[in-house]
């Protein structure tokens, strides 16, 4: 049976499913030689030009670099370093737009060339056969070589994967994409160097057979390679039919070997490795010449160029620089710059993007050459896409699932086997951009898988940490257990164990005895003994249960006594609280009585002296208030067991539990007493004893209103009398017009108010007072003594304000008093009356002072 290698040597070629035959358009650029590279004014080098991770920067802004000098470094095979294409100065390291289908930006090293093109140190290995495979692979990685066929996979990584497992090495020279001729011209002009690169790869991977695969539309390249491989039986030049996409990795493997690469697998799984001719040439330059990958061949084509041909281009050269070199005249209606061919290429946003390691073609077609899409239309289910798919997929189904974001179905239908060749979109009559849907779906799936992998790694780390903590805990417990065992053995060995055990036993026994003694009280023990005796007696008499009736009676009696003691304690506590509250109220009443008496004395005697001496009546009032406060303080120290006549009404006041509440009750009583006094003044303004005869049963609210009206009228008469013979002692301090001396009249009025308060307190004993807000003071202090002092000061200030108000408007205040809405809120009426009196007193004092001056 003939072997596979013998079939390949005999020229047998297989076929793959699908494929198309688009217009080639290769003759425009393949018939002329490759132009040398020119140095642009600025070089922009992306730090990542391959599949994998970017390297670590080795230069900074302002550094001078030489040609071939490494600019980045990395220690992993999945990363390719970047080297300086020419000598110059690093002027910036910043994000720039790169050649990407989405027009993304990436970190780039910007070099300003010095146009001297000075080389740095070269690290060549001309005797590569004397170097180990691992050293050669690492040398290829350090030279920054990546796949130059379009994918950009790191060459060192691919060599490491296929090392010692490759049977057939395939060099891909098919170059099936329309318009692109870079590999064709390279094979025609550098066939000998390509063969040298093949020998390096053979030394590394040791294949059984090496095949150079070319399409039959490249006769010049085929002849050049056959000439270069003469006398090398292990290298076969194989010609395959021209069909797109025969240059795809899996498709070319099927053409050469007849084998299919499994889904989600790599060619190394079936013993095959593939390298592009441009990658092989770069490996030769890196190993034998010591030159890193700093330039490549780029096809410049399209009818908008005056000259279409291939050119060597330094990596990082702006595309606009190359287009200007070839006479680019953009289409005025549709300006397009495509990186790659018309099938797998992508349009860039502007021509100022740099050339990278995977840039094999720059296509600038006119509108007539490649007509723009007229827009996506509905699918007609013609199945042309499925027939053209070289990967035997169902493009229509994949597009539906990708559009619906059903990524699980996309994976189920082997979306990642799609090579994005564009054959399905090329044959679609509805012009559906199928490849764009597939690229988007792949990107979303990769992102989702990355998140899932991160979550899995986090879960694994958490579980590993949890397991480690469990192990540490068990190890710690084992250590403690072992230490205790060692201590026990040591004590047993030294004889201390028995003594310790005996001591522990004694402590336990003692604690048990103490607990039993504590729990067993003498009475309880006697009761238990008595109960046991009864049980024994009952058992002796033949009874099943003893007679416990007497014990039951005793228990009931004890319960009754306990209840009585409890009730007696509760009543005693209530009586004590009531007694304390009563004593507090009595003390407050005594203090108020003494304060009033002191105030009357201070007003009758010192007030006359002070007025004769010309002293200010305001200061006299303040002094009287202070005297009253001191009197109250002294009265509170008197024994509460001997209540006076003034305290009797206070005992009838509602008793509160807290001293603050007692002070509030006292203030309420004073407010009601003032209302009764005002009623007495309204009936008999000239008589001091009239408030004592005031009927207690009358409504105090109406009495307050009547008193206010009477005072207003009295003030009006007093002012009329003052207008004729004004004197210094004519201040109306809440007195009747019949008095000659205003100070004595004030004293008489104070006495009348005191008597009225007593009558009001008696009335409160018969009808409990309502919760009226205190007019003159609000006892917010914790100590009732302080509350009394504050109330006295407040009353003094109120009298001053009343005197001043009487001077300004003596007649106008009567009407508002009469119109006071007493029916709505009696509390507010009382407050309004007190405020009016205070303002009137203050106005009168001011007027008297002015007259004296």
Judge contact between 203 and 136, C-beta under 8 A: yes
Q: Which residues are CB-contacts of 280 (< 8 A; sequence separation ≥ 6)?
A: 171, 194, 197, 198, 201
Q: Looking at residue 34, what DSSP letter applies?
A: P
Torsion angle of C-alpha atoms 723, 726, 728, 732, degrees rounded to 10:
-30
Q: In the numeric block, which tokens belong to residue 843? A: 């106005």
Residues in the chain: 853
Other C-beta atoms lying within 10 Å of the C-beta of residue 696: 15
109 forms bridges with which residues in the sheet? 45, 93
297 forms bridges with which residues in the sheet? 312
Q: How far apart are CA 545 and CA 539, in angstroms?
A: 8
Q: Looking at residue 313, what DSSP letter applies?
A: E
Q: Is 46 helix (H, G, I), strand (E, B) or coil?
A: strand
Judge contact between 300 and 30, C-beta under 8 A: no
Other C-beta atoms lying within 10 Å of the C-beta of residue 131: 16
Query: Does the annotation list 176 as a binding residue?
Result: no
Cβ burial, residue 221 (10 Å; 0-12/13-18/19+):
buried
Report which of 296, 157, 155 is spatially closest to residue 171, judged by C-alpha positions: 155
Using the structure block, give the residue that is written with the tokens 């100065």.
Answer: 89
Q: How far apart are CA 707 and CA 149, in angstroms?
A: 115
Using the structure block, give the residue that is written with the tokens 């417990």.
Answer: 477
Query: Does the annotation list 421 as a binding residue?
Result: yes
Rg, the chain, Cα only:
58
Which residue stretches of 150-305 are H helix?
155-162, 182-189, 191-205, 219-228, 249-257, 277-284
Judge contact between 315 and 45, C-beta under 8 A: yes
Q: How far apart are CA 719 and CA 681, in angstroms?
A: 18
Query: Does the annotation list 361 as a binding residue?
Result: no
Strands 209-215 and 168-172: parallel
**Helix axis angle, 182-189 to 191-205, nearest 10°:** 90
Q: Which residues are CB-contacts of 834 (< 8 A; sequence separation ≥ 6)?
A: 674, 775, 776, 798
Query: Does the annotation list 428 as a binding residue?
Result: yes
Q: In what order do the strands lie in the sheet with 64-65?
A: 43-46, 105-113, 88-97, 64-65
Report which of 306, 345, 331 is spatially closest to residue 28, judged by C-alpha positions: 306
Q: Which runs of E-coded beta strand occur in 68-227?
A: 72-73, 88-97, 105-113, 168-172, 209-215
Q: Which residues are CB-contacts of 768 (< 8 A; sequence separation ≥ 6)?
A: 654
Q: How far apart are CA 560 and CA 573, in angstroms?
A: 20
**Helix axis angle, 659-683 to 549-604, nearest 10°:** 50
Report which of 270, 282, 292, 257 is spatially closest to residue 161, judged by C-alpha positions: 270
Q: Is 99 helix (H, G, I), strand (E, B) or coil?
A: coil
Q: Which residues are CB-contacts of 92 (< 8 A; sequence separation ≥ 6)?
A: 61, 109, 110
Q: How far apart are CA 814 and CA 836, in angstroms?
A: 9
Judge contact between 429 and 396, C-beta under 8 A: no
Q: Is 136 helix (H, G, I), strand (E, B) or coil?
A: helix
Query: Does the annotation list 80 as a binding residue?
Result: no
Binding-site residue ranges for [4Fe-4S] cluster: 379, 382, 385, 389, 418, 421, 424, 428
Binding-site residue ranges: 379, 382, 385, 389, 418, 421, 424, 428
């Amino acid at each position: 049976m003939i072997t596979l290698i013998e079939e390949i040597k005999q020229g047998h070629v297989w076929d793959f499913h699908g494929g198309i035959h688009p217009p080639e358009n290769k003759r425009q650029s393949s018939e002329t030689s490759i132009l040398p590279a020119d140095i642009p004014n600025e070089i922009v080098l992306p730090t990542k030009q391959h599949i994998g991770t970017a390297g670590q920067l080795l230069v900074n802004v302002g550094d001078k670099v030489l040609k071939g000098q490494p600019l980045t470094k990395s220690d992993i095979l999945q990363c390719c370093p970047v080297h300086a294409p020419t000598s110059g100065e690093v002027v910036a390291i910043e994000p720039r737009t790169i050649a990407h289908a989405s027009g993304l930006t990436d970190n780039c090293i910007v070099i300003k060339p010095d146009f001297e093109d000075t080389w740095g140190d070269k690290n060549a290995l001309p005797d590569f056969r004397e170097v180990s495979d691992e050293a050669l692979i690492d040398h290829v990685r350090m030279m920054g070589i990546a796949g130059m066929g379009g994918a950009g996979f790191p060459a060192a990584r691919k060599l490491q994967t296929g090392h010692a497992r490759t049977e057939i090495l395939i060099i891909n020279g098919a170059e099936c994409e329309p318009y692109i001729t870079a590999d064709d011209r390279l094979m025609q002009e550098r066939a000998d160097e390509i063969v040298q690169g093949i020998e390096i790869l053979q030394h590394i991977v040791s294949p059984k057979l090496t095949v150079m695969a070319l399409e039959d539309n490249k006769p010049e390249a085929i002849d050049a390679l056959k000439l270069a491989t003469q006398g090398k039986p292990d290298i076969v030049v194989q010609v395959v039919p021209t069909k797109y996409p025969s240059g795809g990795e899996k498709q070319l493997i099927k053409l050469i070997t007849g084998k299919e690469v499994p889904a989600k697998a790599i060619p190394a799984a079936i013993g095959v490795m593939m390298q592009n001719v441009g990658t092989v040439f770069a490996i030769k330059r890196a190993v034998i010449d010591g030159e890193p990958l700093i330039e490549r061949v780029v096809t410049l084509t399209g009818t908008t160029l005056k000259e279409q041909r291939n050119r060597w281009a330094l990596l990082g050269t702006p595309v606009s620089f190359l287009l200007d070199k070839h006479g680019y005249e953009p289409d005025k209606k549709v300006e397009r710059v495509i990186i790659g061919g018309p099938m797998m290429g992508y349009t860039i946003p502007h021509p100022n993007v740099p050339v990278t390691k995977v840039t094999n073609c720059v296509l600038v077609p006119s509108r007539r050459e490649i007509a723009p899409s007229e827009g996506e239309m509905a699918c007609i289910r013609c199945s042309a896409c499925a027939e053209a798919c070289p990967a035997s997929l169902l493009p229509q189904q994949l597009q539906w699932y990708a559009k619906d974001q059903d990524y699980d179905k996309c994976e189920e239908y082997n979306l990642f086997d799609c090579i994005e060749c564009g054959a399905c979109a090329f044959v679609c009559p509805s012009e559906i951009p199928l490849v764009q849907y597939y690229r988007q779906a792949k990107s979303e799936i990769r992102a989702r898988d990355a998140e899932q992998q991160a979550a899995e790694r986090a879960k694994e780390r958490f579980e590993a940490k949890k397991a480690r903590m469990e192990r540490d805990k068990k190890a710690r417990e084992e250590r403690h257990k072992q230490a205790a065992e060692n201590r026990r053995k040591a004590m047993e060995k030294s004889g201390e164990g028995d003594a310790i055990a005996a001591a522990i036993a004694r402590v336990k026994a003692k604690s048990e005895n103490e607990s039993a003694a504590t729990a067993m009280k003498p009475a309880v023990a006697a009761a238990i003994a008595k109960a046991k005796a009864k049980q024994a007696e009952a058992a002796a008499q033949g009874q099943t249960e003893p007679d416990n009736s007497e014990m039951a009676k005793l228990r009931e009696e004890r319960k009754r006594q306990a209840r009585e003691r409890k009730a007696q304690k509760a009543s005693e506590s209530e009586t004590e609280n009531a007694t304390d509250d009563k004593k507090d109220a009595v003390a407050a009443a005594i203090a108020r009585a003494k304060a009033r008496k002191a105030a009357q004395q201070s007003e009758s005697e010192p007030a006359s002296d002070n007025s004769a001496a010309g002293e200010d009546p305001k200061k006299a009032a303040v002094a009287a208030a202070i005297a009253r406060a001191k009197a109250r303080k002294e009265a509170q120290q008197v024994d509460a067991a001997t209540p006076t006549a003034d305290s009797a009404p206070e005992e009838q006041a509602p008793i509160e539990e807290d001293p603050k509440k007692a002070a509030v009750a006292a203030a309420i009583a004073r407010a009601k007493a003032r209302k009764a006094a005002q009623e007495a003044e309204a009936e008999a303004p000239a008589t001091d004893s009239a408030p004592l005869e005031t009927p207690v049963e009358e409504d105090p609210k109406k009495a307050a209103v009547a008193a206010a009206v009477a005072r207003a009228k009295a003030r009006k008469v007093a002012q009329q009398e003052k207008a004729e013979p004004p004197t210094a002692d004519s201040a109306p301090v809440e007195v009747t017009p019949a008095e000659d001396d205003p100070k004595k009249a004030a004293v008489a009025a104070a006495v009348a108010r005191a008597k009225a308060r007593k009558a009001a307190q008696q009335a409160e004993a018969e009808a409990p007072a309502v919760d009226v807000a205190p007019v003159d003071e609000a006892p917010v202090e914790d100590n009732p003594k302080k509350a009394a002092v504050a109330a006295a000061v407040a009353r003094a200030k109120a009298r001053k304000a009343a005197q001043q108000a009487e001077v300004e408007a003596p007649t106008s205040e009567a009407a508002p008093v009469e119109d006071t809405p007493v029916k709505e809120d009696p509390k507010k009426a009382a407050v309004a009356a007190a405020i009016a009196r205070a303002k009137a007193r203050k106005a009168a004092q001011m007027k008297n002072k002015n007259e004296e001056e």
